């Protein structure tokens, strides 16, 4: 089993371990880019993960 490098990013001014973003080819969207990001999926399945401080999806 290989070692996984921890990837960090800042979302909404809160540091986040963004490993899932690289593993699952996810990208951060804002209110302004949400519709275009969802449309970019075309006919493919699009999964939306809403994240926030103290947000328990």
pLDDT digits (tens, 9 = 90+) for 32-53: 999 999 999 899 988 888 776 6
> Would residue 36 count as lying in a domain?
yes
- For 17, the domain range is 1-51
> Would residue 56 count as lying in a domain?
no
Report how far residue 15's alpha carbon sits from residue 40's, in angstroms, rounded to the nearest whole number: 27
> Would residue 37 count as lying in a domain?
yes
Per the structure, how many domains does the chain have?
Answer: 1
> Would residue 27 count as lying in a domain?
yes
> Would residue 32 count as lying in a domain?
yes
> Would residue 13 count as lying in a domain?
yes
> Would residue 33 count as lying in a domain?
yes
Q: How many CA atoms lie within 13 A of 11 on its CB side?
A: 14
Report how far residue 11's alpha carbon sits from residue 18's, in angstroms, rounded to the nearest whole number: 10
Confidence of residue 56 (pLDDT cuts 50, 70, 90): low
Looking at every residue in the chain, the average pLDDT score rounds to 75
């Amino acid at each position: 089993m290989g070692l996984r490098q921890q990837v960090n990013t800042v979302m909404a001014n809160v540091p986040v371990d963004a490993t899932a973003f690289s593993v699952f080819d996810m990208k951060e969207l804002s209110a302004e880019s949400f519709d275009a990001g969802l449309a970019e999926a075309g006919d493919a399945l699009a999964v939306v993960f809403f994240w926030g401080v103290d947000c328990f999806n």
